[in-house]
Amino acid sequence: MNALIDQIWQDFLKIIKEEVGTRVVETWIKAVCISRYDSNTGGVYISAPNLFVKNWVESNYKELFQKHFKRLLGVESVSVYFYLESAEPVTAVYHESSKIIPAVSAIPKKKKQEIVRKTTSYQMNSSKLNPQYTFDTFVVGENNQFAYASARAIAGKLGTLYNPLLLYGSSGLGKTHLLHAIGNEVLEKNSNMVVMYQTTDRFVTEFINAIRFDNIAKFQAKYKDIDVLLVDDIQFMVNKEQTQEVFFHIFNNLYDANKQIVLSCDTLPRYLGGLVDRLKSRLEWGLIADVQVPMLETKVAILKRKAHVQRENISDEVLVFIAQQEVASVRELEGYLIRVVAYASLTNQAISFELVQKVLGAQQESKAFATKTDFKDVLVHIKKHFSYSLEDLRSKDRSKGVSHARQIAMYLMKRHTDKSLREIGEFLDRKDHTTITHAIERITAFRARNEKLASLLKYIEDELH
């Protein structure tokens, strides 16, 4: 019987994955397991590791459990009961002759206990700050002056001046540096403060593990007594509904307690598809400061500081030449300097203007070839800003949201790749290229009269290049 019910459970997981997606199954459905089935009462008993998981799965997915278990068990009706693992389920009517299938755990008991022990040791009050990222090591220019001033200001008046503070701009321009600088400044002035730097990816992973291994209480406690919460790359919370829900409550609790919240994002939250409206509004409640690509003078200053840290004596002529290279971020600019220094060291040559020309000339040719925009680049931004995949764009779905995203994809593909209308049509499974022409004309006209769309398209185009 155990093998039979285990097979039914595996079949159920496959079916529901198609219906609700892998993310929901991995986060919530696999956190519970079928305990037993009573054929006389038609009761299917599902055990959950904690109350949080029980309530969420029961309120959101109970109907799916009933629908699919009825078919898989080959019966006319079933009643699904959710209960905590620590509590024995109560059967409404007990029949001595009932065919009761014993509990079948999705994870063997011994293995599950080992996993729990490994995941319960949260590092409380661990700031995860990089001590090298301080305000003193941050190079200030016109591109980041406002963001820098805002960050310094809140470090002196936590939770009262600008809360939350949102730093936004493309990757590699110094947002992460400023987040760490705030944390380091706070701890330098008051070592008793609880400061946490957290990437969104790590937050999502810890949340999933907390659900799977019954650590919700410790996960919530981790964020309860924080004085300063620094969250990097909030855009990676897009399309993660459960994560957004729990972060929304953490945000509210800290905000109500006048605790400082600082966030970074690669665009304004209002332009992120797949982010719930109430969270978007929270993220833009306070002060918003952008970080832009630095001007030439700032680039030179950054390179000088980097060269000084590496104890390299490099002429201004060389630094200016490096700073004049076409880059999209400070990180890429510093990478050029590191490449030049490494080449000079490995070949035992002095860092001359001729050497830098040789190294970066080849690098720029390689970069120009590698960064040619293609369809996949466009799809990355369509999914990011509109939450639609390639399958959605290729589908016959003509709803307003999908159609709009599809037309913008066609517009960007024609404008920023070297592909023909026919190639774009084939890629998006559209046989008639006049559909592509119509989409391009429509978005072109709409862009001219709609400021919000024009701003979004400009942002996407800057990212593509």
* Least confident window among 102-111, 155-164, 244-253, 381-390: 102-111
Q: pLDDT above 70 covers what percent of the chain?
A: 86
> 318 pLDDT exceeds 80?
yes
> 433 pLDDT exceeds 80?
no
User: Rounded mean pLDDT of 96-113?
Assistant: 36
User: Rounded mean pLDDT of 421-441?
Assistant: 81
Supply the pLDDT for residue 124: 37
User: Rounded mean pLDDT of 196-203?
Assistant: 90
> 14 pLDDT exceeds 90?
no
> 42 pLDDT exceeds 50?
yes
Would you call 129 exposed, middle or buried from its count of C-beta atoms within 10 A (0-12, 13-18, 19+)?
buried
Q: For the chain, report the end-to-end CA distance as a whole number of angstroms.
A: 60
Supply the pLDDT for residue 187: 92
Supply the pLDDT for residue 120: 33
> Nearest to residue 198, comparing CAs of 219, 221, 229, 227?
229
Amino acid at 334: E
Distance, CA of 63 to CA of 45 (rounded, Å): 14
Work out the pLDDT band at 263, boundaries 50, 70, 90: very high
Would you call 406 exposed, middle or buried from its count of C-beta atoms within 10 A (0-12, 13-18, 19+)?
buried
> Do 173 and 129 contact (CB within 8 A), yes or no?
no
CA trace torsion 348, 350, 355, 359 (10° rounding): 50
> 339 pLDDT exceeds 90?
no
> 356 pLDDT exceeds 70?
yes
What are the distances in angstroms from CA 51 to CA 32, 48, 214, 243, 351?
Answer: 11, 7, 9, 17, 64
Supply the pLDDT for residue 462: 79
Q: Taking the CA atoms of the chain, what radius of gyration do you get in angstroms? A: 27
Supply the pLDDT for residue 261: 93
User: Rounded mean pLDDT of 232-250?
Assistant: 86
Distance, CA of 386 to CA of 461 (rounded, Å): 15
Supply the pLDDT for residue 100: 35
> 428 pLDDT exceeds 80?
yes
Residue 164, preceding bond cis, omega within 30 degrees? Answer: yes
> 97 pLDDT exceeds 50?
no
> 270 pLDDT exceeds 50?
yes
Give me the chain's average pLDDT, please. Answer: 79
Work out the pLDDT band at 186, boundaries 50, 70, 90: very high
**Tens digits of residue pLDDT in 403-412:** 899 999 998 9
User: Rounded mean pLDDT of 249-270?
Assistant: 89
> 117 pLDDT exceeds 80?
no
Distance, CA of 354 to CA of 352 (rounded, Å): 5
Work out the pLDDT band at 116, boundaries 50, 70, 90: very low
Supply the pLDDT for residue 93: 35
Distance, CA of 82 to CA of 105 (rounded, Å): 15
> 260 pLDDT exceeds 90?
yes
**Greater model confidence, 240 or 107:** 240
Supply the pLDDT for residue 184: 93
**Tens digits of residue pLDDT in 45-70:** 888 877 777 888 888 888 889 888 88
> 271 pLDDT exceeds 60?
yes
* Least confident window among 14-28, 291-305, 381-395: 14-28
Supply the pLDDT for residue 87: 57
> Nearest to residue 332, comparing CAs of 353, 303, 359, 358?
303
Distance, CA of 430 to CA of 432 (rounded, Å): 6
Supply the pLDDT for residue 228: 94
**Tens digits of residue pLDDT in 121-159:** 333 345 678 888 999 888 888 888 889 999 988 888 887
Work out the pLDDT band at 308, boundaries 50, 70, 90: confident
Domains and CATH numbers, the chain: 2-118 (3.30.300.180), 145-290 (3.40.50.300), 296-370 (1.10.8.60), 375-464 (1.10.1750.10)
User: Rounded mean pLDDT of 292-302?
Assistant: 85
Supply the pLDDT for residue 122: 35
Supply the pLDDT for residue 183: 93
Supply the pLDDT for residue 365: 46
> Nearest to residue 263, comparing CAs of 368, 163, 372, 113?
163
